[in-house]
Amino acid sequence: GENVEQHPSTLSVQEGDSAVIKCTYSDSASNYFPWYKQELGKRPQLIIDIRSNVGEKKDQRIAVTLNKTAKHFSLHITETQPEDSAVYFCAASHQNTGNQFYFGTGTSLTVIP
Amino acid sequence: NAGVTQTPKFRVLKTGQSMTLLCAQDMNHEYMYWYRQDPGMGLRLIHYSVGEGTTAKGEVPDGYNVSRLKKQNFLLGLESAAPSQTSVYFCASQEGRAGYTFGSGTRLTVV
């Protein structure tokens, strides 16, 4: 099955700086890559996703890039704010043969005011 | 429109006891999933269903059973709870090739 690795496991940044979280995947057939944000004690919420026919997608301060050749994708958060503090999960899915997501182990992001 | 509802929210079991976690969605989604979340291990898929009456094993199915008798409900059962099953359990539903909608989670402790 698919194996998703996520780095770093913890990340601290000053408010206003950028944060980057990286994930790699093993199955070259994976074609859908969502990112989830989970605040303490809450459910994971989808914040952005990208499909394999696109190299980059942006939504306000959040962007995701995908390198299919290298099998890695990254989440970029610019102008970080304290409310961005949460655990972020990447996932990969091969939606031609099944919709189940394989998640990375998470990155705990702390934005220091 | 409640989305995905999980019950109960918290539960403490003794080793060997059984219980059923209920997941209900009102979005008419075909796909439903059960994940467990443990520190440092992310979300791991236990079982999933691609439609009413169907179920399939995920990454960590041992010790769990599921049923999808109605499209809106996906039940996760523990027949004989073990301390290793202490975890936070999340249900999710999905329509087509979209992202998941998660429930609010069930925190289970097995003593």
Distance from CA of B40 to the nearest CA of A (A): 6
Determine, for residues A34 and B48 on separate chains, whether the beta-carbon distance falls below 8 Å: no
Residue-by-residue DSSP string for chain B:
---EEEE-SEEEE-TT--EEEEEEESS--SEEEEEEEETTTEEEEEEEESSTT--EE-SS-TT-EEE-SSTTEEEEEESS--GGG-EEEEEEEE-TTS--EE---EEEEE-
What stretch of H or E contains A11? strand A10-14
- Contact with chain B for residue A52, Cβ under 8 A: no
- Give strand pairing partners of A4: A25
Q: What is the dihedral of CA A66, A69, A71, A77, to 10 degrees?
A: -20
Q: What is the pLDDT along chain A (113 residues), one digit of tens a residue?
A: 789 999 999 999 999 999 999 999 999 989 999 999 999 999 999 999 999 888 999 999 999 999 999 999 999 999 999 999 999 999 999 876 567 899 999 999 999 99
Determine, for residues B100 and A42 on separate chains, whether the beta-carbon distance falls below 8 Å: no
Determine, for residues B48 and A43 on separate chains, whether the beta-carbon distance falls below 8 Å: no
Specify the amino acid at residue B8: P
3-state DSSP call for residue A17?
A: coil
* CB-CB neighbours of B85 under 10 Å: 19
Residue-by-residue DSSP string for A56-110:
EEEETTEEEEEETTTTEEEEEE-S--GGG-EEEEEEEB-TTT----EE---EEEE
Give the model's confidence band at B95: pLDDT under 50 very low, under 70 low, under 90 confident, else very high: confident
| Half-sphere exposure of residue A85: CA atoms within 13 angstroms, side-chain side | 13
Determine the pLDDT at residue A53: 87
CB B91 within 8 A of CB B33: yes
Name the residue among B42, B48, B103 with its Cβ closest to that of A89.
B42
Choosing among B44, B97, B106, which should be mutated to test the A contact, i.e. which has the most A CBs within 10 A? B97
pLDDT tens for residues B65-78?
999 999 999 999 99
